[in-house]
Amino acid sequence: GIQVEQSPPDLILQEGANSTLRCNFSDSVNNLQWFHQNPWGQLINLFYIPSGTKQNGRLSATTVATERYSLLYISSSQTTDSGVYFCAVIKAAGNKLTFGGGTRVLVKP
Amino acid sequence: DTAVSQTPKYLVTQMGNDKSIKCEQNLGHDTMYWYKQDSKKFLKIMFSYNNKELIINETVPNRFSPKSPDKAHLNLHINSLELGDSAVYFCASSRGSIPYEQYFGPGTRLTVT
């Protein structure tokens, strides 16, 4: 099956800092999503981004499908950004959403 | 106006019992899923239904049986619960079965004692 690797596994930020999270995948994909799992366990959709660049407020994401990676940018981080960020993909011609191991982010005030 | 809802939110039960988790979506989606998140936060798909037809059935013990009475509902029944079944179970839905964005419910935390 497809492999999805996220880095770094853990990230501690001071409030106001910027950061970049990376997702590498081992095969061509036709679906890539970024999620934020908040401290209450909810999985919140951030981006549906199989290719290209999108922005939503302080968050933006870029997927370079030909090079098999995606980046999630967090700017001016806030304590509410704390939680686990997951990247998930569906392999081209596949039908299963495969998750990476997540990046645990802690934003300190 | 909750998009994907699950009940119950928490479930504590003893080994050997049978329990069900219910999921409903009001997004008009055709495809619904069950995922399991283990204690290390790893998420993995268990089942998927498209218009009430099973399309994904991962290597899950046959004690787990999904049931889809209509395309807006997908329930998960678990027989003879074991300690290792303790996890958070997420329901999700999407407009179609393959490349479309998936939306997740709030999760059901199952604890087997």
| pLDDT tens-digit map of B73-102 | 999 999 999 999 999 999 999 997 667 899
Which residues of chain A neighbour B104 with C-beta distances below 8 Å? Answer: 35, 42-43, 45
Residue A92 backbone phi and psi in degrees, to 5: -55, 135
Contacts of B61 (CB under 8 A, 6+ apart): none
Scanning the structure block, which residue is given the tokens 């027989």? B79
Contact B106 A41 (CB under 8 A): yes
Which of A48, A95, A98 is nearest residue B97 as measured by Cβ atoms?
Answer: A95
For A75-105, how does the pLDDT look when each residue is reduced to its tens digit (9 = 90+)?
999 999 999 999 999 998 888 999 999 999 9
Which of B45, B55, B106 is nearest residue A97 as measured by Cβ atoms?
Answer: B45
For B19-58, how does the pLDDT look when each residue is reduced to its tens digit (9 = 90+)?
999 999 999 999 999 999 999 999 999 999 998 889 888 8
Spatial CA neighbour of A95 closest among B98, B109, B58: B98
Contact A45 B109 (CB under 8 A): no
Predicted local distance difference test score (pLDDT) of residue B98: 66
Q: Is B99 left (phi over 0), alpha (psi -120 to 50) or beta?
A: alpha
Q: Please check the confidence at residue B2 and state whether its pLDDT lies above 90.
A: no
